[in-house]
Chain A
């Protein structure tokens, strides 16, 4: 009996990278890192490290046989700093020792002399100094400047969102095994086995075929292991390559916090113009992304901010620009939502402020501006099967939101020191990598002689249930029990050039490839069965419940029998199929095109209760209507929605990343950086929009990983409303997260500057 992943997890029997058995004599590597945020390296003295008993070797950039370069998007990321350091925590040398403890202590003893240089940590300062990762990009439609004249109300302001630590439970880790002929097998906790393989090969000066990267599963990724697992895998690989020993790296929590980047903090200026009815006529926003010191994935994240700046609304005149600013923080990176949440928050801030000026609830403005079928996004794509209004209306009626608002008003009138607030968040999120070339995937499928099936693809399992879904798709195609189908580890020798498991596309891309591979084998089996059954028409043959059926009736051929016959008759029982999402294009010279296969829509209401004496609050409930197409697995998708929401709530409320003036992370452990716990998590009511179809999706399903995170944005505005119920003159400053400190200071500030 094959246990499903969840069953293995329940017994603690599932293996993560750090759980793999490794022989006695496995070595550990740990980096010596920069102790300053920016400076010129004058001297690296590795000698003191050798004073530690158990140290085997120390490597610096000089020991890199290939190219000292691990950046996949932009060639600006060295594995080991050589001439300059650009953030505190940047790796400079690698210490290999008998144990991780020794490697850590020895790494701390490496002496680096620097000529310290001024560092910058915030995006606007970097922008003023011209420190950009790439030039400013601008998306637009209509004529914003002309449109202001026709507006009845114009509101301007600025908004800020903070960083967010991924806090995947499993920290970054990898283990490298030397193979013959200079080869390496690397087990890495990465969302991007292909990118990791490419970087290892580049650094070691090896062809990619010499490097095998294998991923069984991750203990959470959330984007934090898309690019940032690479460096650690390369460190283990470099040491293993030189020493011809098995080498492990496994970060402790505080190290993971300090050495890796986070969700990008954003600042933005906005200007919004509306007519008397609340219709938004024009919207302008300029985003400043704090990229950290290195490009990493900042440019594509910035691009997605531009794609989602208009969220779920139709705005006829729009002009949004964004610039990625180079600062001296660890490189910020992908995190569920990938720049989308930051942009959506700004528009919601603008709407909230405009609603204030109009004396209406923000939901009035939200509702009248919802995107409708056939309208065009400002980047040229047409909204098809647009569910924005359907989700909004369903949420309104199912959850009786107007009635709920009245009840909250009554509650607030009756309670002096407790106030409630409710805010609504519609979402629209585009599905596909915005870098069009990444929208491809391969699957390798074997049917074995005993009728069992093996599927390899590029999808990395990290709790999102992608392997469950893909196994299900293959079993449905073959009409066989799911028990027969095994989805293998993600391995670069079986799948070449795989895209990272990211952008919510894991199931869509890899599931389509697996489905096509299964269909290819199925067709061969159908042809064989049709001949075997006396030359019947192949179109009459189906596979159901492990039987070959003709016109819906079981024949004498079972799945097992047919597979045996196929083998004996020399029919190919393996297939390798490539899938590329059709009809995608985007012209970056015009910033127009069709970058997404489809969009996911939804609408959520978040309700909070504020303790106005202490500034504490509770998120009471999140009620959601979500457009999920026809879900492949309701429980998996429900879990994705619930989990995404709580991460979004955390980002908006208690998760606060703090650095000191020298660029040192202050919130570098779980005691200082709090993520939501059981008590924080609200009641979540998820309703899937009924009878939704999605022809471009995998069997009419929709991707589900990222979109729900953005429902959490409503928490900020619900808290604003609750504060307002206590102190009506208060004006929010639109600087998330809304920590209990900010709440209390808002409730009791002496002056109320009219922002």
Chain B
């Protein structure tokens, strides 16, 4: 009788525990044709919890045909649950002055457990030489 009650309860508890867990599997071509131009980065981590869920893998950049700097950041969720976050790009000129950009949104985004994803942005002017991206947990 006890087992009859215990088993459904244990099953429900297991479901409740694993219900929020998601993890992503991926497959890709092994011999890459494209070469990413990776750049060294500087990180300031004030939220270590977010840094595990939205960890930075690396940054690569390129120039568009029109001479705009394009930046791509690879993120990886090292946890097994979906994480919501927001990010914002800031751009700076050769003198380190921030370029005022009317369309610089705080972009809401999400990353599944175990997922690797890219976020990218194009500089608003050709004068932009440097950038900074802010991340915050939602």
Q: Do A and B bind each other?
A: no
Q: Which A residues contact B (CB, under 8 angstroms)?
A: none
